Chains A and B, each alone.
Chain A
């Protein structure tokens, strides 16, 4: 299976702290994307990083990609209660153009 694995499965932090989530995958990719899902809602796209990129920023989000280790991380700085959600990485693998394979997700809880 090409499905990515995310680590940790669950993360609980206090507001203001940073949250780091990791994603590993098995085969080469064209790009990797991170999505957020609030409970009972659809997925919202956060950021896309291409295979030739190593780091991208978007507001309080920072994504890194290490293709040699087949892994990515998502860092949320200065977390807020509103960041409470599940976060998924999704990979578009080489030779499977258009198809996204989603990871298992990390459930983030940010408490006041």
Chain B
């Protein structure tokens, strides 16, 4: 099993540019989560999907952030326009089944907005 795959692994961009982060969950997993990790705020849940449907996006910082899951094997997190304070490591995680099961994390995308 390849595990959760994220791309790119590193992204450096300039303020104002659009950034798209990609995630491929583990095959057969029906829940997908996007997290952001910073030194100041720790690990925060941004949004999660169940069966490709967004269930809770209350953690999404603002309208500049959007996430989609067009099918069971792919999700994107988009930031438009990006700002320096968006610099962080963004993790995608997937889970099989319902609450109470293990989440499997991808390696993360390290984003730096200059």
Contact = CB atoms under 8 A, between A and B. Distances in A.
A88 B43 contact: yes
A35 B44 CA distance: 14
B103 A31 contact: no
A34 B93 CA distance: 15
Interface residues of A, number: 23
Contacts of B106: 42
A100 interface: yes
B18 interface: no
A90 to B, nearest CB: 8
Interface of B: 4, 31, 33, 42-45, 48, 50, 55-56, 91, 93, 95, 98-100, 102-108
Nearest to A97: B99
Given A33-B102, A42-B106, A50-B100, 4 more contacts: A43-B105, A45-B103, A98-B98, A99-B56
Nearest to B35: A102
Contacts, number: 53
B98 A42 contact: no
Nearest to B6: A42
Contacts of B50: 98
A98 B42 contact: no
A105 B42 CA distance: 8
9 nearest CB pairs, A to B: A97-B99, A102-B43, A42-B105, A43-B105, A42-B107, A98-B99, A45-B102, A42-B108, A31-B100
A98 B91 contact: no
Contacts of A71: none
B105 to A, nearest CB: 4
